[in-house]
Homo-oligomer: A and B are copies of this chain.
Amino acid sequence: MIEEMLRFNRRFVETKEYEKYKTSKYPDKKIAIVTCMDTRLVELLPAALGIKNGDVKMIKNAGGTITNPFDSTVRSLLVAIYELGVTEVMIIGHTGCGVQGMDANEMLNLMRSRGISDEHINLMMHCGIDLKSWLHGFEDTHAAVEETVDLVRNHPLIPTDVTVKGYIMDSLTGELSAL
């Protein structure tokens, strides 16, 4: 699959299709979006919000959540705000998110069935890695987005003049609902 993508890429460059995407590294809309890595949002989310190349900083992980206030998501927001002029942050969850109801024990069983040994899993836990809570998803998407909004809004390193808002996107229609 990667090989096919690389062939596509060579044609894209040769035919100069990139010319219509020219822009700078500064986000024209001064917005950063934290959202989910979900397959259904890759094209749908920018299309449904009218986002063009150059408009926003796009931060994505499983669920669009922040697993720790000093993780790479908050670090990314700090770069966006302090270095790149972002003034508004949108946290966008979505319907039918795979992280909703994600269960750590089930995930650990899937790992064992793919050859990760119990010895290694136990060793990590003995080293203080809390796999059970790290691999646990959220119960309710609405509450998870609300929690992330609160975390960003009250983060001690985020300036108080930054607007932080939460939304849920319909994974089929792209419709955005404010929290």
Interface residues of A (CB under 8 A from B): 1-2, 4-6, 8-9, 12-13, 16-18, 21-32, 37-44, 46-62, 65-68, 70-73, 75-76, 78-80, 82-84, 88, 90, 96, 98-99, 102, 107, 110-111, 114-116, 120, 124, 129, 134-135, 156-157, 159-161, 163, 165, 170-176, 178
Contacts and interface: CB of A to CB of B under 8 A. Distances in A.
Contact of A99 (B26, B71, B79, B114): B79
Interface centre among A40, A56, A159, by most chain B C-beta atoms within 10 angstroms, is: A40
A88 B2 contact: yes
A62 B76 contact: yes
Contact of A98 (B21, B25, B110): B25
A160 B111 CA distance: 11
14 contacts: A1-B30, A6-B178, A13-B170, A16-B173, A26-B39, A32-B37, A37-B76, A39-B84, A41-B53, A43-B53, A70-B129, A72-B72, A84-B98, A120-B156
Contacts of A42: 46, 51-56, 58
A61 B64 CA distance: 11
A40 B67 contact: no
Contacts of A55: 39, 42
- Which of A5, A8, A176 has the most chain B CB within a 10 Å cutoff? A5
Contact of A83 (B6, B29, B75, B102): B102
Contact of A22 (B17, B83, B88, B172): B172
Given A1-B88, A17-B48, A27-B39, 14 more contacts: A1-B30, A2-B88, A5-B51, A13-B174, A18-B47, A18-B172, A37-B58, A37-B80, A42-B46, A43-B51, A62-B76, A82-B107, A83-B102, A124-B157
